Amino acid sequence: MTMPSPSPRPLTMIAVIVAAPGQRERLREALTGLLAPTRQEPGCRDYRLFELLDEPGTFQMHETFDDEAALETHRSMPHFRAFEAQAPTLLGAPLKLVRLSAVG
């Protein structure tokens, strides 16, 4: 009897996004605009936005996708491409993507 191959583990990340001076609200609006369309993408399991209480203007996007292919699909979507086009004026530091591995 052949056992089915295990499905790949979901890809979980935190994107750390820092607003440029004076761009906090515009960045918040742009990031909030990503939520609904991204959550509708095939392969998106979780997509939530947070702002650090101790560092206003620093946001974290908690993201989980089925796999690398789903992440690449996300990066090619019009809503994400539109955000990328705005990013140079909104971000005060390069976006940092932290990949996570579930421990328990």
Q: Taking the domains of the chain in order of start, what are their residue ranges?
A: 21-99
pLDDT classification of 76: cutoffs 50, 70, 90: very high
CATH of range 21-99; options 3.30.70.100, 3.30.70.260, 3.30.413.10, 3.40.50.1370: 3.30.70.100
Q: Average of pLDDT values for 72-98? A: 97
Number of H helices, E strands in the chain: 3, 4
pLDDT (0 to 100) of residue 38: 98
The confidence band for 18, taking pLDDT boundaries of 50, 70 and 90, is very high
Residue 3 has pLDDT above 90, yes or no: no
Cβ(45)–Cβ(66) under 8 Å? yes
Alpha carbon distances (Å) from 40 to 2, 11, 18, 37: 34, 17, 25, 5
Crossing angle for the helix pair 78-90 and 68-76, to the nearest 10 degrees: 70
